[in-house]
Amino acid sequence: MAKSEPINQHEENSRTLSRLFSIASTSVDQNQMLHLFLDELLSLSWLSLQPKAGIFLTIKRPGEKPVLKLEAQRNLDDSIIDGCAKISFGECLCGKAASTGSPVHASCINEGHEKMYADMPPHGHYSVPILSGKHVLGVLVLYLPHGTEYNQKHVDFLTRCTSVLSLTLELRDKERKLLEVNRELAFQKATLDQHAIVSIADAAGDIVYANSKFCEISGYHQEELLHRNHRILKSGEHSQAFYEKLWQTIGSGKVWHGEIKNRRKDGGYYWVNATIVPFLNEAGRPFQYVAIRTDITEQKKMQDDLSQAQKVANIGSWSLNLTNNELSWSDQIFNIFGIDQSEFEASYEGFLSTIHPDDLDMVGQRYQQSLNNDMPYDIIHRIIRKDNKEVRWVHEVCAHQRDNNGNVIRSDGTVQDITERKLAQDEIQRLAMTDQLTGIANRNQFHRRFDEILKLARREKKVVILMLLDLDRFKPVNDTFGHQVGDSLLKQAAAILAKNCRDTDVVARLGGDEFAIILVHPDSRDRASEISERIISELTKPFTIENQQINIGISIGLAAYPADADNEDRLINHADKALYKAKEAGRNTYRFYSEVL
């Protein structure tokens, strides 16, 4: 049985840990706290230490490797302070403790001491990493008399001490970050209050906070608003259904955006663009709502003036009298539809005859819904011009007039040719989903199409095979011949991938030299093997670019739905594992996930 330690050593250890916790709880700055830690450790009677010690903390700047910086020391020679001011991970004994995450011991000056100077007195070391999980926050170094052997009990106790130091450093870092967050929140609140109308309401919609901008635009004093319901601002502009939908949205924990017309205390009106954000309790239910609004009264007035100007000028406008089915068009309507006024009389049937056949049912349904359910008629669809059969895109909006019984008696609307804008939007969408270098799908389109393909495969019980492909030895091409040659190589590689797939498959560049292929409903696994073999065969042939012969390779990992995984994330993960095995096998080959299980 191991011999038990003297009771006094247990007591001293307990007192030391207690004092370390006391030091951690003081309000002294971090540098002073680190020095107090060192003083406490150097005072241990049982630990045969030289009165020399130091604490290094990890410094990690973006784009640089982490280093240890000497932040606190006791009785270290100037040569040590200067030479060890910064130590790279893996360098000298302290750097090795940081890189391995394990304590390092030296009983004397040996080959592990990479930081040395003339007349360095003989000594030993304990270098103990300060850990937070797998992260190295720093290293505690204690000097030992020359020849001191490794003692596991010493190391265990010092590791407990560094755990206290780690906890202290983490807590102080979180306190610092919390202080920064609070400052930022205070700044944001002050900025928001200066430029926006802000209020907070409780779960019932009663106002519990209103800033000065809210009081200014509504005409109410703050005490008149507090604990009053937002209903005092209702203007009568919006239907009950409008407010019910608003409350349904925020009551379900979702953010609501929209425009609201409110009434001031003096009876006047103002428009706001509002965002209402619900805050949820532990049960996931809203307990308060923060509303941020901007005044758009002038903007709405300008919109009304513009609408009136368009109506007066008869630009692309139409009117339908439902009591007698009389339809009138402005001149611009005839121009948009490519119709000669002398040969055609405006009619609803004539309008329907211009609509693209694929959009005809949608347009009719939307118009009927606007009549029956008071849904807005705001629609984009295609037409076919009568004169040249050209397909054009139009944007239609209409408003209804109702009688006292709620029946529509008249519809007034506008038609705008938005073909160029629609084509530009489609082009922007295409560019957003296309890799600009290779012309194949980019990461965004890959994920969107993958989701669609998997949903279809689930419904139809079909097979989908994901291929992840990495070009091998591509980086040296960039380094040796430059990015222009590298880009040309990527284009040719993408063309080879696309050539070996069907139009229904998805070929995408995920970034750098990483590609992906989604085989949609392949005949069999052999089909994927054939494609992989063809791709490997073509990409391992020499490329000639700018009179340079270039050799690369490719590794491919494959995973199948539903055999290997039933969702996108797991398929990608499994294909990546298979890719890794292909690389381990010597590259220029492929592996199925089922082969590497």
pLDDT band at 1 (very low <50, low <70, confident <90, very high): very low
CA angle 376/382/387 to nearest 5° reads 130
* Closest of 506, 525, 494 to residue 593, by C-alpha: 525
Amino acid present at 28: V
Rounded distance between C-alpha atoms, residue 235 and residue 447, angstroms? 45
* Closest of 43, 36, 70 to residue 54, by C-alpha: 70
**pLDDT tens across 88-134, in order?**
898 888 889 889 999 999 888 776 676 766 667 788 889 999 998 88
Strands of 425-552, DSSP E: 464-472, 506-511, 514-520, 543-545, 548-550
Catalytic status, residue 513: yes
Rounded distance between C-alpha atoms, residue 74 and residue 52, angstroms? 5
Rounded distance between C-alpha atoms, residue 143 and residue 74, angstroms? 10
Point out the catalytic residue in the list 435, 470, 513, 564.
513
Determine what percent of the chain is predicted with pLDDT higher than 70. 93
164 Cβ contact list (under 8 Å, min separation 6): 17, 20, 21, 24
Amino acid present at 325: N
Per-residue pLDDT at 246: 93
Per-residue pLDDT at 315: 63
φ/ψ (deg, to 5) at 151: -130, 115
Rounded distance between C-alpha atoms, residue 199 and residue 211, angstroms? 6
288 Cβ contact list (under 8 Å, min separation 6): 200, 201, 202, 203, 208, 278, 279
* Closest of 555, 570, 558, 491 to residue 519, by C-alpha: 558
Per-residue pLDDT at 191: 65
3-state DSSP assignment of residue 159: helix
* Closest of 127, 85, 86, 90 to residue 106, by C-alpha: 127
List alpha helices for 145-211, DSSP H. Answer: 152-195
- Is 543:489 a contact under the CB 8 Å cutoff? yes
Query: In this structure, is the dihedral angle defined by the CA atoms of residues 12, 14, 18 and 20, taken in order, positive or negative?
Result: positive
- Is 414:397 a contact under the CB 8 Å cutoff? yes
**pLDDT tens across 492-518, in order?**
999 999 999 999 999 999 999 999 999
- Is 444:432 a contact under the CB 8 Å cutoff? yes
Per-residue pLDDT at 111: 63
Per-residue tokens: 50 = 């030289």
pLDDT band at 577 (very low <50, low <70, confident <90, very high): very high
How large is the average pLDDT for residues 153-169? Answer: 89
**pLDDT tens across 261-306, in order?**
999 999 999 999 999 999 998 888 999 999 989 899 988 888 677 5
φ/ψ (deg, to 5) at 569: -60, -45
Rounded distance between C-alpha atoms, residue 387 and residue 4, angstroms? 104
Tell me which DSSP letter residue 388 carries: T
Per-residue pLDDT at 238: 92
Q: What is the pTM of this model?
A: 0.39
Rounded distance between C-alpha atoms, residue 569 and residue 114, angstroms? 46
How large is the average pLDDT for residues 345-367? Answer: 84
Per-residue tokens: 481 = 């011949």
Per-residue pLDDT at 556: 97
φ/ψ (deg, to 5) at 333: -60, -45
Rounded distance between C-alpha atoms, residue 159 and residue 130, angstroms? 8
pLDDT band at 190 (very low <50, low <70, confident <90, very high): low
**pLDDT tens across 465-488, in order?**
999 999 999 999 988 899 899 999
3-state DSSP assignment of residue 163: helix
φ/ψ (deg, to 5) at 345: -105, 135
In DSSP terms, 274 is beta-bridged to 258, 293
How large is the average pLDDT for residues 303-320? Answer: 63
Rounded distance between C-alpha atoms, residue 562 and residue 393, angstroms? 41
Per-residue pLDDT at 304: 74
pLDDT band at 452 (very low <50, low <70, confident <90, very high): very high
List alpha helices for 46-151, DSSP H. Answer: 78-83, 92-100
3-state DSSP assignment of residue 291: strand
Q: Share the mean pLDDT of the chain.
A: 87
Rounded distance between C-alpha atoms, residue 390 and residue 337, angstroms? 10
> 191 exposed, middle or buried (CB, 10 Å; 0-12, 13-18, 19+)?
exposed
Per-residue tokens: 309 = 């100007």
In DSSP terms, 328 is beta-bridged to 319
Residue 427 burial (CB count, 10 A): 10
Per-residue tokens: 302 = 């300008």
Determine what percent of the chain is predicted with pLDDT higher than 90. 41
Which domains are delineated in the chain? Answer: 9-175 (3.30.450.40), 196-300 (3.30.450.20), 319-422 (3.30.450.20), 434-595 (3.30.70.270)
Per-residue pLDDT at 352: 81
How large is the average pLDDT for residues 304-328? Answer: 69
> 486 exposed, middle or buried (CB, 10 Å; 0-12, 13-18, 19+)?
buried
Per-residue pLDDT at 311: 45
Per-residue tokens: 103 = 């304590």
